[in-house]
């Protein structure tokens, strides 16, 4: 489970539509999807390599816990991902506004899940999503009243000054989650377009540290709780692996 969540957070930082914070940063930056990926892939490849090296030894000691899964082969997720990726890059080559790509991708997401809404309702973690929305709303409101106070601390992160930028995203993301942390930087700071993908890398990798770091972590904990898996040991392992996976963010 730790490996799955960690690899999810790393890989989701690659593309403009990989996760919520990337969508925010991509829309803000106005960069093409190709340019966005060109500025994210190098540190993420390094993070994948370091994470794999860190996780491999643990597989010999922690044992294996079987989780009941549906083994029925289903091509729909792969078709959906391929369709969305092709569409996003094609629309960017045609100089279509990014908002069109976003809207079309969300529409396709609903279309691909339309036949299984019952399953979607059972599996969807409303509590985690509401927690995320509450954090984002709180950050937005706080930014209005505390912008003058926070600006000196946020601006260096917003402009991508290392190691401050990575350290800032690491700390803040693991206090209020990486999506609200990204919202804070975009609201208070002035982010140059080419820095947005770097912030995406930092926020994505910062989500690997603790349970509140990303929505993927919250969803994974909910699955583990339902399956009766050991949560405390998993959180400790996630912390250790997450620190290793985050190191490339300092060179983003």
Q: What is the pLDDT of residue 246?
A: 96
Q: What is the pLDDT of residue 205?
A: 96
Helix axes 196-206, 231-246, angle to 10 degrees: 150
Q: Which residues contact 158 (CB under 8 A, 6 or more apart)?
A: 165, 185, 186, 188, 189, 190, 191, 195, 199
Residue 125 in 3-state DSSP?
coil
Query: Which candidate, 169, 153, 217, places its Cα nearest to that of 43?
Result: 169
Assess contact for 21 and 203: CB atoms under 8 A: yes
Assess contact for 98 and 25: CB atoms under 8 A: no
Q: What is the pLDDT of residue 36?
A: 94
Q: pLDDT digit string (tens) for 149-160?
A: 889 999 999 999
Mean predicted confidence (pLDDT) in 94-121: 64
Mean predicted confidence (pLDDT) in 132-136: 68
Query: Which candidate, 6, 3, 4, places its Cα nearest to that of 213?
Result: 6
| Weakest mean pLDDT among 63-72, 122-131, 243-252 | 63-72
Give residue limits of the domains in the chain: 2-68+125-251
Global pTM value: 0.78
Q: Among residues of the chain, what percentage have pLDDT more than 90?
A: 33
Q: Which residues contact 243 (CB under 8 A, 6 or more apart)?
A: 209
Give, as one character, the DSSP assignment of residue 59: G
Assess contact for 126 and 68: CB atoms under 8 A: no
Mean predicted confidence (pLDDT) in 49-67: 74
Q: pLDDT digit string (tens) for 174-212?
A: 988 898 899 899 989 999 999 999 999 999 999 999 888
Q: What is the pLDDT of residue 198?
A: 96
């Amino acid at each position: 489970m730790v490996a799955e969540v960690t690899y999810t957070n790393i890989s989701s930082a690659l593309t403009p539509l990989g996760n919520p914070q990337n969508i925010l940063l991509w829309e803000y930056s106005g960069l093409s999807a190709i340019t966005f990926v060109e500025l994210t892939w190098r540190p993420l490849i390094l993070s994948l390599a370091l994470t794999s090296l860190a996780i491999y030894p643990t597989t010999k000691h922690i044992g294996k816990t079987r989780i009941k899964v549906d083994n029925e082969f289903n091509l729909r997720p792969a078709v959906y991902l391929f369709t969305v990726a092709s569409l996003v890059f094609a629309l960017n080559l045609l100089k279509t506004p990014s908002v069109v790509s976003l809207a079309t991708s969300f529409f396709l997401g609903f279309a691909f899940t339309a036949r299984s809404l019952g399953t979607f309702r059972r599996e969807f973690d409303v509590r985690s999503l509401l927690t995320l929305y509450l954090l984002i709303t709180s950050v937005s409101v706080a930014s209005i009243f505390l912008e003058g106070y926070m600006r000196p601390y946020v601006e260096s992160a917003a402009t991508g000054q290392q190691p401050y930028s990575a350290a800032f995203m690491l700390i803040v993301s693991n206090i209020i989650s990486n999506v609200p942390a990204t919202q804070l930087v975009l609201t208070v700071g002035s982010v140059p377009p080419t820095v947005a993908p770097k912030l995406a890398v930092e926020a994505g990798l910062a989500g690997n540290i603790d349970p509140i770091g990303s929505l993927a972590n919250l969803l994974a904990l909910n699955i583990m709780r339902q399956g009766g898996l050991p949560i405390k040991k998993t959180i400790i392992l996630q912390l250790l692996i997450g620190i290793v996976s985050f190191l490339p963010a300092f060179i983003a």
